[in-house]
Amino acid sequence: MLPLRISIEGLRSFRAEVEIDFGGRTQIAVIGDTGAGKSSILEAMTYALYGQTSLGGRSKQELMNDTSDVMRVVLRFRVAGEEWEVTRVDRRAGAGGLRPAQAQLVHYGPEGETLEKVEQVRPVNERVQALVGLDSDAFLRTVILPQGRFARLLVEDAPSARTEILRQVWRTHDLEAAGEAVGQRVGEARTLGMRLQDELDRHPEDLEAHLADLTSRADAASRQAAALADLRVRSTRAAETLRQSEATIAAAGRAGERVIPSAMDELAGRLTPVESAQRRSKAEATELEGREASLKRELNGIPTDDGPDDREVARTLPALDALTAQVAKAVGAAEALRGAIDDEAEAAKQHVLAKQVRQSASYEVARHRALEPPLAEAVDSTRERLSQGERWYDKCNDLQDRISSTEEALARREQEMGEAAARLDTAQRDLQRAQERLQRAEQAVSEARRANAAADAAHGLCPGDECPVCEGELPESWTPPRDPGLDAAREAKQAARSQVDGASRVVTDLKAQQESGRQRMGDTRGKLDTLRSETADATVRLRSAAGLDDAFQVSGDAPFPSPDQVLAPARQRLGEAEARLAEHHTAADGLRETQTGAQMAEQSARQTLKHARNDIKRTGKAADETLDALRQRLQSIPQPFRPRLTVPSDPVELETVDTTPVDRASYAAREREKILQRRKQERDRLRSEIEETRTALQRLGKARKTEVEEPLQALVRALADHRTILANAVRELAAETRIPGAIHYPVDAATLREGIGRLREVMVELVALVEDCRHEAHRAAEKACSKAVALARALDQLDGLGETAHADGLAPLLVVDTDALPQRLDDWKAALNALVATAEAADDDARFHARDASRTRDAFAAILGDLLKLRQTADEVTALELALGDLDAALKPGAFLKWLTLRRSRDLLVYASRMLEEMTANRYSFADPGDLEDQQWLVVDNDSGQARSPASLSGGEQFIGSLALALGMVEMMGRSGGRLESLFLDEGFGSLDRNNLDSAIEALSMVAGTGRMVGVISHVGAVAEQIDDVLAVTRSATGSQVTWLSRAQRQELARSDTGLEGASALAGLLE
């Protein structure tokens, strides 16, 4: 797991959201003051992956920032070359609890697209553990080594717990799962092999020979089908020829019966009287149409557009009668408008006078108001100084109380430090005694080994291992020799080691408590000094706020004077300022009353002026409307009768109007009305005579329809019927005779007579053609029957029925007298139809058999390749079943997985031992654990040659040993394609000397050089000096903040005398 980017919000000291980008960095140092939030970054990383806070056993409520309601961590990381992003969110609920947690895991593709999304806490936990390959406990022992817990895997964990962690790291669980999968696959392969063999048994053994036989059968069936198809076509053609001959004979008979040339003579006789009636009707119609045209010319000669028509005259007379009253109304409206204008001028004069009075009063009020702010400001300033004095008085009293309580707390902590020192001395003596017992137990084990060398040499060996004496392979039945004394010595050694471990933990805890107590005492003394400084500052501020002179002093432990005594001068100055402000307010009230009266007078004048202006608008609108109505009335009168009245555009200018033109216009309109009445009487007479002429033309048209049009229509229909009969006969005989064009109504008698003659000539020609067609059809029928006999013989040969089976039924029909041929057409047709049906049936059967044979051949050819592959696959499945069976037997739970875990653990210790030797200048290395999986790990002191428990090492030595194990685990996982792509160390460097520190940093640099990420958290300045990427963590009022330091900032930090412990040095550096 390689972290790429993390976003933290609301977790411990990270109140606001902070994002850290690890991209492109392989070796990182995280620096900052105590409590700045360095370790919280690792806590956030563990929380994001596993939803747990195992670094310090804290609950989620303790992990969440006290002032935040939401804790959110988003971690983007890479596993096996694929990018994932996990998000965890916790929110506060009522009563101090938390709402249900939220979790989401997203898998991103190369282009940033979403490939997979997992939601809810449990599925996300399971998916993350599957990706990383470690549970949270193993993760905190192999990837993240928390502060103060480096040696858990080396010292604290029991061998069985350590073995379980290593199995997760080596992913032996995958082999166990693979064993289960192989067992399932064995059954599946066996079932598949049986199914494949059953399918092969359903087909012939020799597949190629079977395909050749099917091909031969299909080719024969295709040839038989082609021959029968040709016979079917020829027999169908013979039957069609016979049918056409029969149709031709029948058509000739029908044509002889229907085509009668004498019918045309009868139609010509019926046409003669119709021609005479047509000529007479045409002459009478010409005479009536001439009279109608003469009357229309006389009617059109009467004038219609020489002046206004009767409708305009009728509309003009009432308008002229009402025009005089309209003029009088407009004059009255103009007089009312002039009176309203005079009233408005007087009201405007009064409003100007009232406005001047109001402006003078407003000026006085504004001048007096300008004097008020300085007075009010003096009151507010005096009141604020009094309020500040009260607050600083309360502050001084509170600080004196806090100084007393802090002095009492300092005395209690000094007493607790004395008691802790006594307990630490006792615990150190207990540890020394336990170490002496362990040394005696180790000597006893060494003596027991020398006493029984065979049992010691066989310790850890298993059947199948190499014998250290004869170098041969130990048999399956071999059991190691036992020595009760050696076993008892080992148990005693183990018990002594457990006592040393327990005593070491007690001493470590007491030292941590003592250090914490010293720090708390220092904090308390600093707090006491701060309180005394704040008290002196508060006293100075109180003297300034209350206006006291320098003579006012308060001794260190003396109580403060009463607030009345201290604040009396300030209260007196406030009373004087308030009195001056009240006197000013009284004078302002009188000026405002005068201003109010002037405003009311001005408002009354304004209302009067407004009413006067409204009257002008109302009377002006009425005058405009009356004048507009007068103009519209004039415009509605037609132009010839419109009187010329003089009307001004402004109603104010309208006084009198001369109405004489109105009388003259009324006289002209009445004269025009008399002329229009005489013209109307003349038009009515002419229209009556035209209507009588049209009635006579209608009567003539009815007579023409009865005597001419209807007889002509009947003759045209009769001629069309004869032409249709003739055309049908020509079409049935397929003759080339040209049919005359059809004649349609309307048509005159001469054209119709000419068409009757042409149709008679064509009828005579067709009667002669009918006899020729009849004889030709007889000869064609005889030839068709002769062909049918030959086809019947061919059908007999193809069916295998003999040469005369079908021909015997057709041969007697050929011996027919020519005169008797028409009576035998039905017999010929029945025989040929039977032959065609037989040929069709034979052709269909042959086609079916040919298609069936081809499909069978093609189907088998299509699966031939699959059958060959199926046979090959069956052989491969059989071989796979045997291989899976062997693999299933090998992966069964037992010796193999145990051997694999032990083998990789040995390789781990070999590499870790080499790293430990390099970092300790060959002082320490790891001992071979032997062949027992649960053997306790030991450290060999190369100076003495003795193996020691890791618990007996110092704190710095335990850190170096744990670091060597962590580096070895990263290296081993890298060799086997594992997923340990990062390592994070929290503190621990402070216990190393300069040489060991340089060796440790160099070893971490080697790991970072392989592309893995190494992160260290430390207060030691030398750590940050040797690492290029340094992340500075600082804490402010808004929470922790992070900054990547530049090269210049790192150099400045290295030159700082205070190291990383000085808060001011780091803060100033970042500024």
Extract the tokens encoding 148: 């103060």
Residue 527 located in a structural domain:
no
Q: How far apart are CA 849 and CA 218, in angstroms?
A: 8
Q: How far apart are CA 199 and CA 182, in angstroms?
A: 25
Least confident of 127-131, 572-576, 616-620, 833-837: 833-837
Q: Which of 630, 653, 676 is the last residue of a domain?
A: 653
Does residue 407 have a pLDDT over 50? yes
Q: Can you list the alpha helix ranges (DSSP code H) found in 53-205?
A: 60-63, 121-132, 136-142, 159-170, 172-201
- Angle at which helix 263-300 crosses helix 660-704, to 10 degrees, equals 170
Extended strands (E) in 248-305: none
Q: How many CA atoms lie within 13 A of 675 on its CB side?
A: 14
The average confidence (pLDDT) of the chain is 78
- Angle at which helix 372-451 crosses helix 563-636, to 10 degrees, equals 110
pLDDT (tens digit, 9 = 90+) per residue, 1016-1052? Answer: 887 666 666 678 788 888 888 788 999 998 888 877 7
Nearest residue to 421 via CA among 527, 521, 524, 526: 521
Does residue 149 have a pLDDT over 70? no
pLDDT (tens digit, 9 = 90+) per residue, 1043-1054? Answer: 998 888 877 776
Residue 85 located in a structural domain:
yes
Kindly give, in sequence order, each residue whose CB lies less than 8 Å from that of residue 299, ignoring residues fewer than 6 positions away: 683, 686, 687, 690
Q: Which residue has the higher pLDDT, 641 or 4?
A: 4
1007 neighbors 950 (Cβ within 8 angstroms): no
Q: How far apart are CA 955 and CA 905, in angstroms?
A: 24
316 neighbors 638 (Cβ within 8 angstroms): yes
Does residue 806 have a pLDDT over 60? no
**What's the mean pLDDT in 478-494?**
73
Extract the tokens encoding 75: 């971690």
Query: Which pLDDT does position 118 carry in this prediction?
Result: 93
- 254 — pLDDT class (breaks 50, 70, 90): confident
For residue 56, give Cα distances in angstroms to 12, 505, 518, 582, 1067. 13, 16, 22, 68, 28
Residue in this structure with the two tokens 């500040």, named with its chain if needed: 388
| DSSP three-state, residue 865 | helix
pLDDT (tens digit, 9 = 90+) per residue, 818-867? Answer: 445 555 666 666 777 777 777 778 778 878 888 888 888 888 788 878 87
Does residue 950 have a pLDDT over 80? no
786 neighbors 780 (Cβ within 8 angstroms): no
Phi, psi of 522 (to 5 degrees): -60, -40
- 990 — pLDDT class (breaks 50, 70, 90): low
Q: 0.75 exceeded by the pTM?
A: no
For residue 358, give Cα distances in angstroms to 265, 368, 611, 705. 127, 16, 21, 107
- Relative to beta strand 1013-1017, strand 27-32 is parallel
Q: Which residue has the higher pLDDT, 466 or 555?
A: 466
Does residue 1066 have a pLDDT over 80? no
Residue 359 located in a structural domain:
yes
Least confident of 223-227, 777-781, 997-1001: 997-1001
Does residue 382 have a pLDDT over 60? yes
Query: Which pLDDT does position 456 carry in this prediction?
Result: 57
Kindly give, in sequence order, each residue whose CB lies less than 8 Å from that of residue 590, ignoring residues fewer than 6 positions away: none
Does residue 956 have a pLDDT over 50? yes
Q: Can you list the alpha helix ranges (DSSP code H) found in 452-483?
A: 453-457
Query: Which pLDDT does position 109 carry in this prediction?
Result: 92
Q: For the chain, how many structural domains are there in total? A: 2
Query: Which pLDDT does position 1062 carry in this prediction?
Result: 42
What is the DSSP track for 146-162?
A: -TT-GGGTTTTS-HHHH
Q: Which of 632, 653, 674 is the last residue of a domain?
A: 653
pLDDT (tens digit, 9 = 90+) per residue, 714-756? Answer: 888 888 888 888 788 888 777 777 888 888 888 887 888 888 8
Query: Which pLDDT does position 4 carry in this prediction?
Result: 92
Residue 1024 located in a structural domain:
yes
Residues 365, 366, 369, 371, CA torsion sign: negative
Q: How far apart are CA 529 and CA 296, in angstroms?
A: 135
Does residue 452 have a pLDDT over 80? no
- Angle at which helix 994-1009 crosses helix 955-975, to 10 degrees, equals 10
- 372 — pLDDT class (breaks 50, 70, 90): confident
Long-range contacts of 810-813 (CB under 8 A, 24+ apart): 810/785, 810/835, 813/785
Question: How big, in percent rounded to 5, are the helix, strand and coil portions of the chain?
Answer: 70, 10, 20
Query: Which pLDDT does position 816 carry in this prediction?
Result: 43
| Highest-scoring range by mean pLDDT, 179-193, 342-356, 800-814 | 342-356
Per-residue b or e along 687-718, where b marks 16 or more CB atoms closer than 10 Å to that residue's CB: eeebeebeeeeeeeeeebeebbbebbeebbeb
Residue 261 located in a structural domain:
no
229 neighbors 843 (Cβ within 8 angstroms): yes
Does residue 461 have a pLDDT over 80? no
Burial of 570 (0-12, 13-18, 19+ CB in 10 A): buried
Query: Which pLDDT does position 994 carry in this prediction?
Result: 63
Q: Which of 653, 668, 688 is the last residue of a domain?
A: 653
pLDDT (tens digit, 9 = 90+) per residue, 70-115? Answer: 999 999 999 888 999 999 999 988 766 888 899 999 999 988 899 9
**What are 64's strand-pairing partners?**
11
Query: Which pLDDT does position 998 carry in this prediction?
Result: 65
Residue 531 located in a structural domain:
no
**What's the mean pLDDT in 367-385?**
84
CATH code at position 998: 3.40.50.300
Strands lying side by side in the sheet with 2-9: 18-21, 2-9, 70-79, 82-91, 102-108, 114-119
Residue 334 located in a structural domain:
yes
Query: Which pLDDT does position 851 carry in this prediction?
Result: 84
Query: Which pLDDT does position 801 carry in this prediction?
Result: 43
Does residue 52 have a pLDDT over 60? yes
| Highest-scoring range by mean pLDDT, 313-327, 451-465, 943-957 | 313-327
**What's the mean pLDDT in 260-271?**
82
Q: Note down the domain range covering 1065.
A: 2-143+987-1070
Does residue 172 have a pLDDT over 80? no
Does residue 971 have a pLDDT over 90? no
Residue 70 located in a structural domain:
yes
Q: How far apart are CA 513 and CA 507, in angstroms?
A: 10
| DSSP three-state, residue 832 | helix
Q: Which residue has the higher pLDDT, 478 or 290?
A: 290
Least confident of 498-502, 588-592, 791-795: 791-795
Does residue 311 have a pLDDT over 60? yes
Extract the tokens encoding 203: 């087909």
**What's the mean pLDDT in 270-294?**
83
